Amino acid sequence: MLLIECPWCGERDESEFSYAGEAHIARPLETEKLSDEEWANYLFLRKNIKGLHREQWNHAAGCRRYFNVERNTVSYKISGSYKIGEQGPVGDDT
């Protein structure tokens, strides 16, 4: 079981949270000008890397706010969490 630190509520059990996907995915500004392939790439293609990864989480059973978490996908070690729009931690890749 992971312990995730909500930037507003503090450290809580992972059962209080919902995973919301990869962090820092910018929505295209002029979506009507995108081809079907470009739109599909935005909607469905993600990095899915092995190692240090930034993700969005929602504190569903708490404050219900979204925030970002930096986590290693191999070891599950969480380097830190931060509010959306803030600079995230610079974790190691272990």
The total domain count for the chain is: 1
Dist CA 21 CA 41 (whole Å): 15
In a domain, 52, yes or no: yes
In a domain, 91, yes or no: no
Please state, in angstroms and as integers, the Cα–Cα distance from residue 54 to each residue in 35, 37, 57, 66, following that order.
27, 25, 10, 13
Task: State pTM to two decimals.
Answer: 0.84
pLDDT at 92 over 60: no
pLDDT of residue 94: 44
In a domain, 90, yes or no: no
Encode pLDDT of 12-38 as tens digits: 999 999 999 999 999 999 999 999 999
CATH number (domain holding residue 45): 3.30.2270.10
In a domain, 51, yes or no: yes
Dist CA 82 CA 42 (whole Å): 24
Largest CA distance in the chain: 44
SS3 58: strand
Dist CA 75 CA 2 (whole Å): 11
Could you list the residue range(s) of the whole structural domain that residue 30 is in? 3-83
